[in-house]
Amino acid sequence: MESNPNPKVTRADIMMRGALCRCPNCGRRGLLASWFRLNKACVSCGMDLAKSAGFYSGTTSIGYVAAIICVIIPVCLLVVFKVLSVGTGIILGIFGSFGFIVLIYPVMLCWMVMVYHLALPDDLPANAPNDGPRAG
Protein backbone atom coordinates (compact mmCIF):
# COMPACT_ATOMS: atom_id res chain seq x y z
CA MET A 1 0.00 0.00 0.00
CA GLU A 2 1.48 3.34 -1.02
CA SER A 3 1.39 6.39 1.17
CA ASN A 4 -0.75 9.35 0.15
CA PRO A 5 1.76 11.85 -1.35
CA ASN A 6 -0.35 14.92 -0.42
CA PRO A 7 -2.30 14.15 2.76
CA LYS A 8 -4.81 16.72 3.96
CA VAL A 9 -3.75 15.97 7.55
CA THR A 10 0.03 15.82 7.91
CA ARG A 11 2.03 14.05 10.62
CA ALA A 12 2.78 17.49 12.10
CA ASP A 13 -0.99 18.15 12.30
CA ILE A 14 -1.51 14.77 13.97
CA MET A 15 1.20 15.48 16.55
CA MET A 16 -0.18 18.93 17.39
CA ARG A 17 -3.74 17.64 17.65
CA GLY A 18 -2.66 14.65 19.75
CA ALA A 19 -0.66 16.83 22.14
CA LEU A 20 -3.81 18.92 22.68
CA CYS A 21 -6.10 15.85 23.04
CA ARG A 22 -7.98 16.65 19.86
CA CYS A 23 -9.19 14.37 17.10
CA PRO A 24 -6.36 13.60 14.65
CA ASN A 25 -8.85 13.77 11.77
CA CYS A 26 -10.86 16.95 12.38
CA GLY A 27 -8.85 18.69 15.10
CA ARG A 28 -11.83 19.16 17.44
CA ARG A 29 -12.46 17.82 20.92
CA GLY A 30 -14.53 14.68 21.22
CA LEU A 31 -12.27 11.68 21.80
CA LEU A 32 -13.01 11.02 25.48
CA ALA A 33 -16.17 9.32 26.75
CA SER A 34 -14.97 9.59 30.35
CA TRP A 35 -11.75 10.02 32.30
CA PHE A 36 -10.77 6.41 31.57
CA ARG A 37 -12.40 5.68 28.18
CA LEU A 38 -12.32 6.77 24.59
CA ASN A 39 -15.56 7.28 22.69
CA LYS A 40 -16.29 4.67 20.02
CA ALA A 41 -16.03 7.52 17.49
CA CYS A 42 -15.12 11.20 17.51
CA VAL A 43 -18.23 13.17 18.47
CA SER A 44 -17.33 15.92 15.99
CA CYS A 45 -16.47 14.06 12.77
CA GLY A 46 -17.51 10.49 13.55
CA MET A 47 -14.06 8.97 12.92
CA ASP A 48 -14.00 5.41 14.25
CA LEU A 49 -11.66 5.12 17.24
CA ALA A 50 -11.93 1.32 17.49
CA LYS A 51 -8.71 0.74 15.52
CA SER A 52 -6.63 2.71 17.98
CA ALA A 53 -8.31 1.03 20.97
CA GLY A 54 -5.77 -1.78 20.71
CA PHE A 55 -3.18 0.72 21.84
CA TYR A 56 -4.75 0.95 25.33
CA SER A 57 -1.90 -1.22 26.62
CA GLY A 58 0.48 1.57 25.64
CA THR A 59 -1.04 3.82 28.29
CA THR A 60 0.41 1.47 30.90
CA SER A 61 3.92 1.83 29.52
CA ILE A 62 3.64 5.60 29.23
CA GLY A 63 2.22 5.76 32.75
CA TYR A 64 5.08 3.74 34.25
CA VAL A 65 7.75 5.83 32.56
CA ALA A 66 6.02 9.12 33.44
CA ALA A 67 5.58 8.06 37.10
CA ILE A 68 9.24 7.06 37.35
CA ILE A 69 10.44 10.35 35.86
CA CYS A 70 7.98 12.70 37.55
CA VAL A 71 7.42 11.00 40.94
CA ILE A 72 9.82 8.17 41.83
CA ILE A 73 13.11 9.86 40.86
CA PRO A 74 12.28 13.16 42.63
CA VAL A 75 11.12 11.28 45.75
CA CYS A 76 14.32 9.18 45.72
CA LEU A 77 16.41 12.34 45.49
CA LEU A 78 14.51 13.85 48.42
CA VAL A 79 15.24 10.71 50.45
CA VAL A 80 18.93 10.66 49.44
CA PHE A 81 19.32 14.32 50.46
CA LYS A 82 17.48 13.55 53.72
CA VAL A 83 14.59 15.92 53.02
CA LEU A 84 12.21 12.95 53.47
CA SER A 85 12.54 9.85 55.61
CA VAL A 86 12.70 6.48 53.85
CA GLY A 87 9.22 5.52 55.09
CA THR A 88 7.70 8.78 53.94
CA GLY A 89 9.47 8.43 50.60
CA ILE A 90 8.07 4.93 50.08
CA ILE A 91 4.52 6.01 50.89
CA LEU A 92 4.80 9.16 48.78
CA GLY A 93 6.30 7.16 45.91
CA ILE A 94 3.51 4.56 45.92
CA PHE A 95 0.53 6.88 46.34
CA GLY A 96 2.10 9.70 44.33
CA SER A 97 2.73 7.39 41.36
CA PHE A 98 -0.81 6.03 41.43
CA GLY A 99 -2.33 9.51 41.74
CA PHE A 100 -0.12 10.87 38.97
CA ILE A 101 -1.11 8.08 36.57
CA VAL A 102 -4.81 8.62 37.30
CA LEU A 103 -4.35 12.36 36.77
CA ILE A 104 -2.72 12.03 33.34
CA TYR A 105 -4.71 9.01 32.07
CA PRO A 106 -6.94 11.00 29.66
CA VAL A 107 -3.84 12.55 28.09
CA MET A 108 -2.28 9.09 27.70
CA LEU A 109 -5.42 7.86 25.88
CA CYS A 110 -5.26 10.78 23.47
CA TRP A 111 -1.57 10.19 22.90
CA MET A 112 -2.21 6.54 22.03
CA VAL A 113 -4.66 7.66 19.32
CA MET A 114 -2.00 10.11 18.12
CA VAL A 115 0.71 7.42 17.99
CA TYR A 116 -1.53 5.07 16.00
CA HIS A 117 -2.27 7.73 13.38
CA LEU A 118 1.33 8.96 13.26
CA ALA A 119 2.25 5.44 12.19
CA LEU A 120 -0.72 5.12 9.81
CA PRO A 121 -1.76 8.62 8.67
CA ASP A 122 -3.55 7.21 5.61
CA ASP A 123 -6.10 5.59 7.97
CA LEU A 124 -7.56 9.02 8.70
CA PRO A 125 -10.82 9.62 6.80
CA ALA A 126 -9.54 13.07 5.80
CA ASN A 127 -6.56 11.43 4.05
CA ALA A 128 -8.60 8.80 2.21
CA PRO A 129 -8.34 8.95 -1.58
CA ASN A 130 -11.30 10.60 -3.29
CA ASP A 131 -11.73 7.80 -5.81
CA GLY A 132 -14.26 5.85 -3.75
CA PRO A 133 -14.32 3.94 -0.49
CA ARG A 134 -11.13 2.31 0.78
CA ALA A 135 -10.84 -1.40 1.28
CA GLY A 136 -10.26 -2.83 4.76
Convert the pLDDT of each residue in 46-68 to its tens digit: 999 887 655 556 777 888 899 99
pLDDT digits (tens, 9 = 90+) for 87-112: 999 999 999 999 999 999 999 999 88
User: Looking at residue 136, what is its pLDDT?
Assistant: 44
Whether the per-residue pLDDT at 130 is higher than 90: the answer is no
Nearest-10 Cα torsion for 41, 131, 10, 22: -20
Q: Which residues contact 53 (CB under 8 A, 6 or more apart)?
A: 38
Q: What is the DSSP letter of 48?
A: B
Q: What Cα–Cα distance (Å) separates residue 122 from each residue in 6, 27, 34, 101, 114?
A: 10, 16, 27, 31, 13
Whether the per-residue pLDDT at 133 is higher than 60: the answer is no
